């Protein structure tokens, strides 16, 4: 690392603009996943699905909060995210769960990539991203369990 890079890390809170942008994107994604899970919980046909999706939404909101704190730690602010999540592309509960699973899989892969990318330059941030990655893997397992119990032929 050159002297200029070290100096820019010191002045800029230790994070490159790329790192700040990646953290902010993860923050926005976590907020959107939390909102979407909350909306899917409202339309879930079974009580166990409603409760599980609410717990997942709460966990995603907690992740977003931790990412917002990480943004503050690197000298950036977590900007407000639209209160309206993207529309669901599915007509039934099973399809919405599949959509949720895919969003969590994408988040898992992205968090893993970023944890490796920032392991040397931002070790505390990389540790946070690794923790979130493990949580996302667990969320994927929980959603797969819900998918296994859902009837793909039922329309809401």
pLDDT tens digits, one per residue of 75-96: 877 777 776 656 667 778 999 9
Q: How far is CA 111 from CA 30, 39, 43, 149, in A?
A: 11, 24, 29, 28
Other CB atoms within a 10 A radius of the CB of residue 141 amount to 11
Residue 138: pLDDT band (50, 70, 90) is very high
How many Å apart are CA 100 and CA 118, to the nearest integer?
27
Is the predicted pLDDT of residue 101 greater than 60, yes or no? yes
Q: Domains of the chain (ranges plus CATH)?
A: 16-149 (1.20.1260.10)
pLDDT tens digits, one per residue of 22-67: 999 999 999 999 999 999 999 999 999 999 999 999 999 999 999 9
Q: Is 67:30 a contact under the CB 8 Å cutoff?
A: yes
Closest CA to 107 of 151, 146, 64: 64
């Amino acid at each position: 690392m050159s002297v200029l890079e070290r100096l820019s890390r010191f002045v800029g809170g230790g994070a490159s603009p790329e790192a700040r942008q990646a953290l902010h994107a993860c923050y926005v994604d976590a907020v959107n996943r939390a909102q979407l899970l909350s909306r899917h919980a409202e339309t879930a046909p079974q009580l166990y699905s409603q409760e599980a999706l609410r717990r997942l939404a709460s966990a995603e909101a907690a992740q977003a909060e931790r990412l917002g704190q990480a943004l503050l730690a690197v000298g950036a602010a977590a900007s407000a995210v639209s209160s309206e999540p993207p529309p669901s592309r599915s007509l039934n509960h099973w399809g919405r769960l599949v959509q949720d699973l895919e969003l969590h899989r994408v988040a898992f892969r992205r968090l893993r990539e970023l944890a490796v990318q920032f392991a040397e330059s931002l070790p505390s941030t990389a540790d946070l991203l690794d923790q979130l990655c493990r949580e996302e893997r667990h969320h994927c397992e929980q959603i797969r369990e819900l998918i296994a119990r859902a009837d793909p032929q039922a329309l809401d």
